[in-house]
Amino acid sequence: MSIPFPVRIQAAVVRAAYALPQGLRRAFAGKAEVRDGQTLALDAQVILKFQRMSKATMVMPGGVGPSRDEMEYARYLVGGRTIASVAVRDVGIPQEQGELAARLYTPGGVGKGSGLLVYVHGGGWVVGSLESHDHVARFLAERGRVRVLSVGYRLAPEHVFPAGLEDVQAALDYAFAKAVDLGADPERIAIGGDSAGGNLAAVTVQQAVRRGGPVPVFQLLLYPVTDLSTKRDSHRHFAETYFLTSDNMDWFADRYAPEPVDRTDPRISPLLAEDLAGLPPTYLSTAGFDPLRDEGEAYAQALREAGVDVYLSRQSDLIHGYANYIGVGHRFEEATAEAAEALRKAVGA
């Protein structure tokens, strides 16, 4: 995708704003925002100010196409410089529906037999791609000292539930079967994802346990969707204003799991699974200013009650999707680096 000239200009303006002294950034962003006992980070306020000025939202007027374009262009605005020390190659994963596109990231200095993270990008099952999350995959590979296999699963509404889930399951099976060919240790395979990708990763792990096949040794869930059957208090507290809105989530759900799909199905709402025993150690993060906060934390609690080793990290001053903003300010990178460090400790070099 070529970068439109206006996007280049916007990127330069955003970078210039974050280079300003803190006092000027505060003047630009406005008074500190406090909600539900939490104070929004200045870095988050600045990017939200730009998004409001440009009328950028997760769901753009015009629907699916413009919304996908918006996410693709966003990486040029907030993704930061490409981490060139991470080698990248395309991987084709065979399956019945045709070859599944994936991308293998190998950080410099990491040799054969490394850990491997199967990574599933976010975007409400409708937007997002290997490209939109390229900077996230590079960051996790470099900071986590692991290989990362990023999965380009089929998107809704062209491919509704369970198409995307089937693709992620195929990718995990491929990772185990071809670990040595990918340069990885089959005993050190993890899975993870952000938002809707975290949902698909969580469900895939549950399915792996139920099938009795190989199970990842670790899961990394960033602000995951865990229950599409109901809305908790965080949907009310953060229904609008903070980029991802409650209405956005309705729009995404209607395209991924349209009626008459039962959204209490644990393959859609992993929080509702009857038995969570046997799942691997988990790092789960939530964002304080996020409609999905409470369901993510409910999933962490359910895992704990099932005997799973869980580290729950609420980034109370950040917004949904913070891993995509690692190229601006410092707070987004700091939060994402924490997740990468958890990954490194679990399966990294």
The residues carrying an active-site annotation are 195, 290, 320
41 contacts 49 by C-beta, under 8 angstroms: no
Fill in the DSSP letter of residue 279. P
* C-alpha radius of gyration, the chain, whole number: 19
Dihedral of the CA atoms 204, 210, 216, 219 (nearest 10)?
50
Contacts of 109 (CB under 8 A, 6+ apart): 349
Cα(318)–Cα(237) distance, rounded to whole angstroms?
A: 14
Q: Give the residue carrying structure tokens 């400790």.
A: 345
Smallest CA-to-CA distance from 216 within 242, 188, 238, 237 is with 188
Q: Is the dihedral of CA 176, 180, 184, 186 positive or negative?
A: positive
Beta 184-194 vs 147-151: how paired, if at all?
Answer: unpaired
219 contacts 201 by C-beta, under 8 angstroms: yes
Backbone angles phi, psi at 103, to 5 degrees: -145, 130
Give the three-state DSSP class for 139: helix
Cα(223)–Cα(154) distance, rounded to whole angstroms?
A: 21
Backbone angles phi, psi at 191, to 5 degrees: -135, 150
Q: Is the dihedral of CA 159, 165, 169, 175 positive or negative?
A: positive
107 contacts 117 by C-beta, under 8 angstroms: no
Q: Count CB atoms within 10 A of the CB of residue 298.
A: 15
